[in-house]
Structure 1
Amino acid sequence: MDALTASMALLRLEGIGPARYWQLLEHFPSSVEALYQFPQALLHKLPVRAQSQWREFSQKEACSELIAWVEEERARCAELGVELVCHCHSDYPPLLAEISRPPPILYVRGDKTALHRPQIAMVGARRATVAGLDNARAFAAELASAGFAITSGLALGVDAAAHRGALQGGGSTIAVLGSGVDCIYPRHNRTLAADMLSAGGTLVSELPIGTRAEAKNFPRRNRIISGLSMGVLLVEAALRSGSLITARLALEQNREVFAIPGSIHNPMARGCHHLIKEGATLVETSGDIASQLGGLLAVPTVTDTIAVERLPASQQLLIDALIGGPRSIEVLARDSGEGSGELMALLMQMELDGLVEQLPGGYQLTLKGSAYSQALSVVETAEDIE
């Protein structure tokens, strides 16, 4: 018997969740030995059905109802294209393995390798404001285009906007479900889930195939969202919300926590403001997240950037002018030498291309614009050396 089969059998016993599973693994070197040598003291604490299941297994082993269910579950996964990742496997996400009592088994539908990419979790209100949804899409698009996988929970509101933003940014996105990976919840997001899978995204759950969404599943899902990620960005949230719980879990897991501030008159900003008071990093642009993570975004190498497409000279002048930070229209006009009409046309085109963004009174580089500048600098240095 392999470790995956034994782990699935243990978790099939009613009353054995991740907490008791890990208690067993503290006393046994593997899930196989834990299953065969199940402590009688713990067995008596389990429901009667679980006791009956284990005793039948101890007599019939491979012919028992418990092992039959495991084999059927693995067959169902194979049929649906779902991969099973056990905590003892080398392809188990390393950051998730660091948290207290992580999911013993992950059901993964889609690109399994995405779980090993640098991830930023984005969470927030289901009934977010238009501005909140716009922020979620914009931050996700820029972070995804910069190399982060965007992780969220496929819920309505901010979650869905973050997943869509990642797709728009041409990057990877991961949805952690509070149901089986074959039971998309909410139904409204089934098309989004299909779009994610088509674009190379990933659906993840610790729950067996066929498990329907229930309220008790979502706190478990939230710990996976934060556990997979290097940091969690709270976009909008009320003071009492599941999103705020996810952010607090991230703090407990020693992850970075970011929050976007909002109007003091917006109740959906109060959760963010509360979190900032507790020590979360206030962010205004996606670049704030990249700088806080201290270089976890890989700096492009010469071989990665040789094919960088150079911008027109007029746009390059504006990129150079904005490298040091936000600049007013007047300063940009002075540095570029462009007339007001030509300058506004250039800035509008660069904004459409995702290179700059408008601020009150001026403009600044987006994460994409900063990445372009860095990549071009590497190429020019290489050319000077040659």
Structure 2
Amino acid sequence: MISEEYFYAIALRECSHIGDINFHKLIRNFGSAQEAWKRGKKEYKKLDGMGLKTVSDIGNEEHLKFAERELEFCERNAIQIKLRHLGEAPTLLNECMDAPAILYQKGNINDSLQKLSIVGTRNMTTYGQQFIEDFFGATQSAAYASVSGLALGIDKEVHEQSIRHQKPTIAVLAHGFQFLYPAKNRKLSEKIVQEGGALLTEFNSSRKPDRENFIQRNRIVAGISSSTIVVETGFGGGSVSTAAFANDYNRDVFALPGKITDVCSQGCNQLIFHNKATAISTVKDLINMLGLNNPQEKIEELFPYSETLIQLTENQKFIYQSIKENPQISLDDLGQKIDIPSHKILPIILELELLGKVKSFSGRQFIAN
């Protein structure tokens, strides 16, 4: 039996001018949704920065009737209701100031599992598809849950590869559970739940997939995960907004670079250029940066090369060997050690970095791979 707190929370959130932030102001002041419903309109002067207009709709009987119908719909359709102020929201999402007050969930979310949001364009190319296949293949033995938006293209591929590799996946919807958009993904949505994943939305059951909902949805995609990976997106694509939310929440963002002439890579390139995302050079490096444990022993490179085919120049060999013998040596110390000016060493180190032979750290320190 669902407690009255859920009933009043739904009614309160339905009020005009009571968004997620105002909802939590009311909860902080009155202790519960039930108390906020009963006292919010009468005692609004206690609320910092909240006027009579904001609370004017509290107490509206129509919202109580709506809440009753919503609870009945959720019970009939095995939909869980999660209230943030009761600590029921996913942990990382709960840290976001503008996190949803109420979440509707079908299926299961293991909050202890690391979550990775992987997003991109509906117009996926073979380049993006190959990256997703390689990533899931390389992380077969790692424990994590993927998150995406159930759209066509990249999102669909992420959910399908997750299921194929027996990884739980979370689809964040831009509408309520009376609808499924796009309809083509209905069977996939059912499979996600069957295979131990979840469908998640902040929208009540009657909310349609309106255009403005998708940007709002993207903040959940970004907030629920420790990292967001943008595979392919054009200028101004929806995934750019997901990356922006992730940056605002101080989460890691990675983007797959592509040709500047490829429309589907221009958004990724822009994120990298403006330091809004770290460029993905290899799947192996990405896995290391994500901190995924127990990756496969052999991880295919996104841009593969064979070490036996790399012919280093004499200068490259000399610099490489010097770094190898002095791990985490700084540029200045290296210059003194081998008696070569720093400005002449740096271009050679950059060449070695591009070849995957050297890795740089903050403070211009280097180690040999």
Deviation at 1:105, TM superposition (A): 1.0
Distance 1:145 1:69, change over 3 A: farther
Partner SS, residue 175 of structure 1:
strand
Deviation at 1:269, TM superposition (A): 1.1
Letter in 2 for 1:174: I
Distance 1:79 1:17, change over 3 A: same
- 1:78 alignment partner in structure 2: 75
CA contact (8 A) 1:95 1:229 kept: yes
Match runs of 1:294-313 below 5 Å: 295=291, 297-298=292-293
Match runs of 1:118-129 below 5 Å: 118-129=114-125
- 1:277 alignment partner in structure 2: 273
- 2:285 alignment partner in structure 1: 288
| Residue 173 (structure 1) aligned with residue 169 (structure 2) | yes
> How many residues were matched structurally?
300
Task: Kindly indicate which of the two structures has a greater share of residues assigned to helix.
Answer: 1
CA contact (8 A) 1:233 1:259 kept: yes
- 2:180 alignment partner in structure 1: 184
- 1:45 alignment partner in structure 2: 53
- Give 5+ residue unaligned stretches, structure 2: 45-49, 311-354, 356-369
| Residue 242 (structure 1) aligned with residue 238 (structure 2) | yes
CA contact (8 A) 1:145 1:170 kept: no
- 2:262 alignment partner in structure 1: 266
- 1:112 alignment partner in structure 2: 109
Mean alpha-carbon deviation: is it higher for 216-225 or for 3-12? 3-12
CA contact (8 A) 2:142 2:294 kept: no
Letter in 2 for 1:85: K
**Of 251, 254, 262, which aligns to 2:250?**
254
Distance 1:11 1:210, change over 3 A: same
Distance 1:181 1:146, change over 3 A: farther
Partner SS, residue 123 of structure 2:
coil
Q: TM-score, normalised by structure 1?
A: 0.70
- 1:33 alignment partner in structure 2: 35
- 1:351 alignment partner in structure 2: none
- 1:339 alignment partner in structure 2: none
Distance 1:30 1:7 in 2: 8
Identity of paired residues, percent? Answer: 30
- 1:345 alignment partner in structure 2: none
| Residue 66 (structure 1) aligned with residue 68 (structure 2) | no
Distance 2:163 2:282 in 1: 19
Distance 1:133 1:299, change over 3 A: closer
Letter in 1 for 2:67: V
Distance 2:247 2:58 in 1: 38
Deviation at 1:298, TM superposition (A): 4.5
CA contact (8 A) 1:121 1:152 kept: yes
1:120-174 superposed Cα distances (whole Å, 9 cap, x missing partner) = 1011111122211232343245446521211000111111111111111111111
**Of 11, 14, 17, which aligns to 1:15?**
17
Letter in 2 for 1:45: K
| Residue 87 (structure 1) aligned with residue 84 (structure 2) | yes
- 2:98 alignment partner in structure 1: 101
Distance 2:199 2:140 in 1: 17
Partner SS, residue 86 of structure 2:
coil
Partner SS, residue 174 of structure 1:
strand
Distance 1:142 1:148, change over 3 A: farther
Letter in 2 for 1:72: R
Distance 1:236 1:5 in 2: 41
1:45-73 superposed Cα distances (whole Å, 9 cap, x missing partner) = 25xxx94x6445xxxxxxx4433332321
Mean alpha-carbon deviation: is it higher for 31-40 or for 69-78? 31-40
Letter in 2 for 1:172: P
Letter in 2 for 1:32: Q
Partner SS, residue 117 of structure 2:
strand
Deviation at 1:12, TM superposition (A): 1.5
**Of 212, 230, 254, which aligns to 2:208?**
212
Distance 2:146 2:210 in 1: 24
CA contact (8 A) 1:153 1:177 kept: yes
1:183-202 superposed Cα distances (whole Å, 9 cap, x missing partner) = 11111111211221221121
Distance 1:79 1:138 in 2: 40
Deviation at 1:214, TM superposition (A): 0.4
Distance 2:88 2:17 in 1: 27
Q: TM-score, normalised by structure 2?
A: 0.73
CA contact (8 A) 2:38 2:59 kept: no
Distance 2:171 2:113 in 1: 14
Letter in 1 for 2:234: A
Partner SS, residue 112 of structure 1:
coil
Letter in 1 for 2:165: G
- 1:139 alignment partner in structure 2: 135
CA contact (8 A) 2:175 2:203 kept: yes
- Give 5+ residue unaligned stretches, structure 1: 57-63, 301-307, 309-315, 332-361, 363-386
